[in-house]
Each structure stands twice: as C-alpha cells, then as structure tokens.
Amino acid sequence: MALALHGGAGAISQQLLSPQRQEEYRQGLRQALTVGTKILTEGGTAMDAVSQTVVSLENCPLFNAGKGAVFTADETIELDASIMCGQSGAAGAVAGVKTLKNPILGARIVLEHSPHVFLVGKGADEYGLLHGAQQVPPSYFETETRREQLHTFQAENRIDLDHNDDAPQTHSPVNLGTVGAVALDQEGNLAAATSTGGMTNKEYGRVGDSPLIGSGTWASNSTCAISCTGQGEYFILGAVARDIDARMRYGGETLEQAAVTSLTEHVMIPGGQGGLIAVDKTGKVVMPFNSLGMYRASWTNLTGQSHVSIWKRSPSAGASTR
C-alpha cells in the first residue's frame, strides 16, 4: 500500500514563507495524508483513498482547489478535476464547475454514472447535483486572501500563469495551484485524482491539464498512477501522465526513469515548471519536480513512515524524486 499527494508545485520561496505559514501548509498536507492512509490501512480502495485525500485538500483553504481556489478575471471561481481508476481504466472529469463543494467527487460521479468521461460548465454542475453531490453557494469557495490576490494581479494587469517562472518576488506562494493524490491499495489497485482552481485572473475559459485524462491524471494497474501540477500547457503538449505510462509499458523504463525523463523532456527543457507524484504497482513512490518547491506528502506500508516536504532535500542536487 502507498499514498502520495501534492498541493502544487512552483516558485515557493523559503525566505518569503514564514515559519508559521510553513507549519500551516505542513499541517494541511499531514491531515490529507492521514485521511488517505487511514482508508488504505483499513482495507479501503485506492479510489476511495485518492478521492478523500483530495477532498481534504479541497476543503483546506490554503490550496488552490475547492475552498480557497483562485478567482478568474470575472471574479468568479471555476473548478476543474479528474479521477482515474487503474483497475477498470474508467475515468471522470469536470471543468468550469461553480457549485459542487468537492469537484473531485463531481468527477467521480461522472466516472460512476455517466456514459461520458468529460463534462464542462453548467452541465457538469447539474450532473453532479442530479447524482447527489453536495451543492454550495459560490461564496463558499471565496477567501479574502484570494480576492486580494486577484485585485493585486488586476492592478498589475497580470495573469498568473499558475506557476510562473518569472513571477516577481512578491508573487505569493498561495497562488500556486493544484492538488492531487495517487494510491496503491492492498488489492494491488491503483488510482489517481487531481483538482484545481486554475490561474488567478484567468480569462477566455482557459483549461489546464488537471481535468485532462492522460495529461494531468492517469492510472493503470499495468504501470502506475500519476497526478501532475505546474504550468499545465507543458503537461498537455507532452501528454505527460500518459507518456510516463507509455515509457514504462512500451519502453521498459522504471517509474523513476519514466517520471524524471518525461518531466525533463516535456516540462523542464521547453522552459516550464512543475512536478508530479506517481506510484507504481510495487508501491514505489516518486515525486519529481523542477520548480523551487512542491507541497507534498507520502506514506507506504513498506516503511510505515510518513513524509511531508515543501522544498528539495538538497537544493543543489537537481530534480528531486522525493
């Protein structure tokens, strides 16, 4: 059994994040890890573990998903999520939802009830409600921190590219933006889930990689489960999650080789920033990223130990895989 989760990768400055704030993030990550680990150790499924881990992260206002998500240019909040089951190969995804308390559960409803895989906009909200998803008023998602961010961005006439490389030093780390989880359960089944609020001040209905099966999320019992975070466009153009699967499936690479090589080739070399979490069928967990930091946590029953981190262990060592 194994569980890994992330709360976004990007230019997280160790200098600008106060010790108290750091502890709040670590607490949010630890709490989500506990939720998922408990499900797995009690014999629950990987699907339940990733769903509830992401629900915990969505409910935490620190992360850019669910409550605490960033505002669009229209001062609305539009949420995207996707989930995939490695056992069945089924998947569900939603984009642009505005009233589902937990978008990841909306994605799971699509997986379980719809003949379709991907629903967007008002229809995705309606479909979730029709199948019992908890509805909240749009104001539920709003936080003053995020509203101030929007106004700052608008005053600067800037669109946050979610994890912008050349963001000024005043770029608050709370702009960072995706959450996700991957799990291996005691039956040997894998699952992956990703959820996001997108970019601060986003316009033109931009959709990133988070709700896209094969880009931001992938799971197959034959290979691994993956959830990505970072500058979504790079992950779409590389179909990164599916690329990692393919490197293992057809190229015989290990999870670590596949994940690091794909991230390097499709994100780092073209000039992007991001990271991902992945677990293979043996319970091996990797969490590579090329940005300054990535909020992340993991647990496996091999060691029984939990692990919560924000920055690289050794900043000079290049792409970390833990």
Closer residue to a second copy, CB minimum distance, 120 or 319:
120
The piece of 14-22, 63-71, 109-117, 286-294 that touches a second copy (CB under 8 A) is: 109-117
Among the residues of 9-83, which ranges form H helices? 19-41, 46-59
178 catalytic, yes or no?
yes
The structure tokens 């995207």 sit at 80
Q: How far is the CB of 281 from a second copy (least distance, A)?
A: 18
Using the minimum distance from each CB to a second copy, give the nearer residue, 81 or 212.
212
Q: Should residue 249 be labelled a site residue for a second copy when binding is judged by CB under 8 A?
A: yes
Dihedral angle computed from the Cα positions of residues 63, 64, 67 and 73, in that order, rounded to the nearest 10 degrees:
150
Q: Which of 99, 178, 194, 217 is catalytic?
A: 178
Per rule CB under 8 A, is residue 243 in the interface with a second copy? yes
Choose, by CB under 8 A, the member of 213, 260, 297, 310 that binds a second copy: 213
Report the C-alpha gap between 64 and 54 in whole angstroms. 11
Give yes or no for residue 62 binding a second copy (CB under 8 A).
no
Q: For a second copy, which stretch binds (CB under 8 A), given 118-126, 167-175, 283-291, 293-301?
A: 118-126
Q: Which of 119, 150, 226, 259 binds a second copy (CB under 8 A)?
A: 119
Question: Length of the chain, please?
Answer: 322
Q: Apex CA 287: angle with CA 181 and CA 232, to 5°?
A: 70
**Angle of helix 46-59 versus helix 19-41 axis, rounded to 10:** 150
Q: What are phi and psi of 209, to 5 degrees?
A: -85, -15
In whole angstroms, give the CA distance from residue 5 to residue 25: 13
Per CB under 8 A, 118 contacts a second copy: yes
Nearest C-alpha neighbor of 295 from the set 51, 18, 24: 24
Determine, following the binding rule CB under 8 A, whether residue 127 of this chain makes contact with a second copy.
yes
208 binds a second copy per the rule CB under 8 A: yes
Query: Which C-beta is closer to a second copy: that of 26 or that of 249?
Result: 249
Tokens representing 132? 């019992």
> Which residues contact a second copy by CB under 8 A?
89-91, 95-96, 114-124, 126-127, 161, 203-208, 212-215, 218, 232-233, 236-237, 239, 242-243, 246-247, 249-251
